[in-house]
Amino acid sequence: MPKPRLIIANWKSQKTFREVDAWLSRFVDLMRPHLDELREPGKPQIVIAPPYPFVDRVDAVLRSLDLNNIRLGVQDLSPYPAGKYTGAVSVRNLEGWEIKYAIVGHSERRRYFKENEHDVSNKVNQAIESAIVPVVCLDQGDIQVQADAIGRKQLSKCVVAYEPVESIGTGLSQSVAQVLPVVKQIKAVFGDVPIIYGGSVTEVQVDEYLLATDGVLVGGASLDPNEFFKLVKKAMLFE
């Protein structure tokens, strides 16, 4: 059976509590008539990755839906276990929430927070130890370097997000023709792991990426529940 496609909403550091509540209530209203359909095998898995202060809110709402196909994600993790690391969120802090995925190594983390491939590798290990699936974000130049740092044993437990830096938040998404060879390259290094694309994905072109990859990582187009719902609806047409 083909792997279910992943649609990950990455809100980055946007939104207030009020905006999160409004988003959740609108999105759930829109999704409600489609929940049974989403339960069918092969339908996409939707992941919402809010900023940490809102994780509890999103967790509560997703639990109330009791759906295997809408899951909670986080945008980052501490590379260290629980301990004396002021400001960091360790996997132990997350116990009690039903977190399925953790985005790690996003180019914004690498660029603004100076994370390197070893930090990302440590985050991958922390996630895997806690049964959280790491979604490792890579640009083309990071593939081999990052895989070497992660090490053979853990590679097969990752999801890889191909995220060309120049496409993130710019509206300049890569064409599928550009994405395909990189997907091949990632497969050659990571093996047969799910590979998703991120970089200015909207509901207009999401279907093209879903034909070529195992899913999408959506930033800007996930902030508005109506826009994100349209994208999800299109993804639900894929088996």
75 touches ligand PGA by CB under 6 A: no
Give the residue, chosen from 50, 134, 164, 199, that forms a contact with ligand PGA under the rule CB under 6 A: 199
CA of 165: how far to CAs of 40, 142, 174, 179, in Å? 35, 11, 10, 13
Q: Quick one: 115 or 163, whose CB is closer to ligand PGA? A: 163
Rule CB under 6 A: say whether 219 interacts with ligand PGA.
Answer: yes
Active site residue 106: yes
| Min dist. Cβ of residue 198 to ligand PGA (A) | 4
Which residue in the list 34, 106, 117, 118 is annotated as catalytic?
106
Tokens representing 218 are 């959506």
Binder of ligand PGA out of 50, 220, 225, 235 (CB under 6 A): 220
| Using rule CB under 6 A, residue 122 touches ligand PGA | no
Scan residues 19-58 and list those touching ligand PGA (CB under 6 A): none
- Candidate list 78, 174, 200, 213; residue touching ligand PGA; CB under 6 A: 200
Q: What angle do CA 33, 34, 38 make, to 5 degrees?
A: 155
Instruction: Name the token pair of 56.
Output: 């509890």
DSSP string, 112-164: HS---HHHHHHHHHHHHHTT-EEEEEE-GGGHHHHHHHH-HHHHTT-EEEE--
Q: Tokens 């890889």 sit at which residue?
A: 160
Using the minimum distance from each CB to ligand PGA, give the nearer residue, 48 or 218. Answer: 218
Q: Tell me which of 5, 7, 10, 235 binds ligand PGA, using CB under 6 A.
A: 10
Of residues 90 and 202, the one with the C-beta less far from ligand PGA: 202
134 is a contact residue toward ligand PGA (CB under 6 A): no
Q: Which of 102, 124, 135, 168 binds ligand PGA (CB under 6 A)?
A: 168
The verdict on 163 binding ligand PGA (CB under 6 A) reads: yes
Per the DSSP assignment, residues forming a β-bridge with 104 are: 136
Burial (CB count <10 Å: 0-12, 13-18, 19+), residue 106:
buried
- In angstroms, give the least distance from the CB of 196 to ligand PGA: 10
Catalytic (active site) residue 98: no
Phi-psi region of 96 (alpha: psi -120 to 50; beta: other; left: phi over 0): left
Cα–Cα distance measured from residue 22 to residue 46, given in angstroms and rounded to the nearest whole number:
18
Three-class DSSP category at 99: strand
Could you list the active site residues? Answer: 106, 163
Q: Which residues form the interface with ligand PGA (CB under 6 A)? A: 10, 163, 168-169, 198-201, 217-221
